[in-house]
């Protein structure tokens, strides 16, 4: 009975670790996507359409 409890605790710890890793991964993915969109939006090609003379 005690070994079953230990096993359940280990499983729970493993699941929570996986959950935390999953959250971290999706957070990193979101930040990378945001950075990518920000880069596209602020690229020189997007802002200047060939008019270098003012």
Question: Is residue 34 within 8 Å of 28, Cβ to Cβ?
Answer: no
Q: What is the pLDDT of residue 53?
A: 53
Contact residues for 46 (Cβ-Cβ < 8 A; gap 6+): 40
Q: Which of the two residues, 25 and 43, has the higher pLDDT score?
A: 25
> What's the pLDDT band for 45 if we cut at 50, 70, 90?
low
Reply yes or no on whether the pLDDT at 31 is more than 70: yes
- DSSP letters along 8-19, please? HHHHHHHHHHHH
């Amino acid at each position: 009975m005690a070994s079953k409890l230990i096993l359940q605790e280990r499983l729970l710890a493993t699941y929570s670790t996986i959950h935390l890793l999953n959250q971290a991964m999706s957070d990193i993915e979101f930040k990378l996507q945001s950075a990518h969109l920000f880069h596209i939006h602020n690229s020189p090609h997007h802002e200047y359409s060939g008019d270098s003379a003012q």
